[in-house]
Amino acid sequence: MAAKPKQITIVGAGLAGGLLATLLAQRGWSVDVFERRGDPRMHGYAGGRSINLALAERGLHALRQAGADAEVLKRAVMMRGRFVHPLHGTPSLQRYGRDDSEVIWSIDRGELNISLLDAAESLGARLHFDRRLDHVDFDARIATFKGDAADHAHPFNTLIGADGAGSSLRGQMAPHVALNERSEWLDHGYKELEIPPASDGGFRIEANALHIWPRGHYMCIALPNDERTFTVTLFMPHDGDYPSFTQVQTGEDAQALFERDFADALPLIPELREDFEANPTGILGTLYLDRWHLDNRALLIGDAAHAMVPFHGQGMNCAFEDCAALADMLDAYDDLTEAFAAFEALRKPDAEAIQQMALENYIEMRDKVDDAQFLLQHELELALQARHPDRFIPHYSMVSFMRIRYSLVLQRSEIQRHILENATHGLDSLDGVDWAAADAAVIEQLEPL
């Protein structure tokens, strides 16, 4: 078995690429990172989607491993829960966890990316910007990048694709390995808007929350930024009889939609018409692959391997978990083929689980968070957690505040959902709950964690 050369080439200097470069440079690897865009520290951030990111424990743990968590959290805004704005009724906060020890953090994608690039470079990683992957000769181990009107041939030992859902490296791998790539596109898209600061420079609405305006088949969300703004995202079907992007095409259409369905949000978005017409309509999808690696020559991570819809706020957290897991595998195995295969075997079931849960969470966010039965089950969820803290852990807590494998979270959440549904069937309060039966179900069906 040949010893592994400690040299690695990462394609993509986004979030996953920056973090992986940092983790490997820490471990003594010689790291080159190639990015098709310019250096955001010089030219400004020019990323794709600008949906704010929700940083949770999985991502924070990986940042701690890289020593980057403190710098990142300086510019993050704490979110205690969902602040739900029903069409009729009083807005209210639904906490994510039991107290302020269980929160998530809103972080600007560009600021986070720049922090990770600085960290990687400070540890000796070489960053190459304006270099787009054009061709890979896997036999000769030469990757050709285009930039500055020239070709740049780069000899490599192994390539890591951290270049996102539209991965160029994945396209180069496809003729050499049975990836069986398939994308399932959501029939909903999104449009970004903005809530500016108040006249006194502060936040216009509650700062420490993710705001949701649920409307059944469509919704708005708003995440806070450290500049005292909110990034607002309108999610709607692409077409259909209910409000859709086919029906709502102009700024005037958007104004009418908000006057009718998001009346309390409308005064907060003074540039609604202009932003709606200027910003593109984003698409959302889930990427599935049968294989993530080509023996010891190439591996895909993050969105390049398992892009998902953003509704559980776990795309970045899952990608960061990939980075930490891959670094551990590279420590554990001398052979890259074995390391890559072990990484894929570990992470693929978890990626598929969170992809499923992200799709399910969209329905919850847009349709259930102001539903009486959902709220009653949430109340019971917290009560059962208090009665059985080592067995009954709410779904959101397992995903966001712990590092239990996503695949195990999915299994336990299905069991817990049935317990909640059975215990609240036909009830409108917890007064009628058969606690003995609920307790017995928890003890019988859920192993302690």
Q: Residues 257-312: pLDDT tens digits?
A: 999 999 999 999 999 999 999 999 999 999 999 999 999 999 999 999 999 999 99
Task: Write down which residue in 306, 327, 360 finishes a domain.
Answer: 360
Q: What is the pLDDT of residues 321-367, one digit of tens each?
A: 999 999 999 999 999 999 999 999 999 999 999 999 999 988 877 77
Under DSSP, is residue 162 helix (H, G, I), strand (E, B) or coil? coil
Instruction: Say whether both 417 and 308 belong to one domain.
Output: no
The answer to whether residues 171 and 205 belong to one domain is no
Same domain, 132 and 37: yes
Residue at a domain's end among 251, 282, 313: 282
pLDDT, averaged across the chain: 94
Return the pLDDT at 370: 74
Is pLDDT of 135 > 50? yes
Mean pLDDT throughout 159-172?
98
Q: Is residue 366 part of a domain?
A: no
Whether pLDDT at 255 is above 80 = yes
Q: What's the mean pLDDT in 38-50? A: 70
pLDDT, residue 45, reads: 60
Assign 4 a pLDDT band (cuts: 50, 70, 90). Answer: low
Residues 276 and 292 in one domain: no
Q: How many structural domains does the chain have?
A: 3
Between 242 and 20, name the one with better pLDDT: 20
pLDDT tens for 137-149 read 999 999 999 999 9
> Are residue 278 and residue 289 in the same domain, yes or no?
no
51 and 153 assigned to the same domain: yes
Give domain status of residue 56, yes or no. yes
pLDDT at 49: 45
- By the 8 A CB rule, do 323 and 20 touch? yes
Is pLDDT at 50 greater than 90 in this prediction?
A: no
- Statement to judge: residues 245 and 169 lie in one domain: no
pLDDT at res. 106: 96
Are 178 and 198 part of one and the same domain? no
Nearest to 355 by CA among 395, 400, 291, 309: 309
Domain contains 99: no
Nearest to 54 by CA among 309, 227, 313: 313
List, for residues 71-95, the tens digit of each pLDDT value.
999 999 999 999 999 999 999 999 9
Q: Is the per-residue pLDDT at 242 higher than 90?
A: no
Both 135 and 241 in one domain: the answer is no
Residues 296 and 269 grouped into a single domain: no
In a domain, 28, yes or no: yes
Last residue of a domain, one of 266, 282, 298: 282
The answer to whether residue 91 sits within a structural domain is no
Domain CATH number, residue 45:
3.50.50.60
Q: Is residue 100 part of a domain?
A: no
Tell me if 189 sits within 8 A of 281, measured CB to CB. yes
Q: Is residue 81 included in any domain, yes or no? A: no
Angle, helix 336-363 to helix 315-332, in steps of 10 degrees? 160
> Is 26 a residue whose pLDDT tops 60?
yes
Round to whole Å and give the CA distance between 304 and 163.
6
pTM: 0.94
Tens-place pLDDT, residues 370-380: 788 988 999 99
Residue 90 covered by a domain: no
The answer on 25 and 55 residing in a single domain is yes
- 233, 221 in Cβ contact below 8 A? yes
pLDDT on residue 48: 44
In angstroms, rounded to a whole number, what is the distance separating the alpha carbons of residues 404 and 411?
11
Which residues does 321 contact at the CB level (< 8 Å), separation at least 6? 58, 59, 61, 62, 347, 350, 403
Q: So what's the pLDDT on residue 331?
A: 96
Domain holding 243, by residue range, is 187-282
- Is the domain of 434 the same as that of 334? no
Q: Which one, of 390, 355, 52, lies nearest residue 194 by Cα?
A: 52
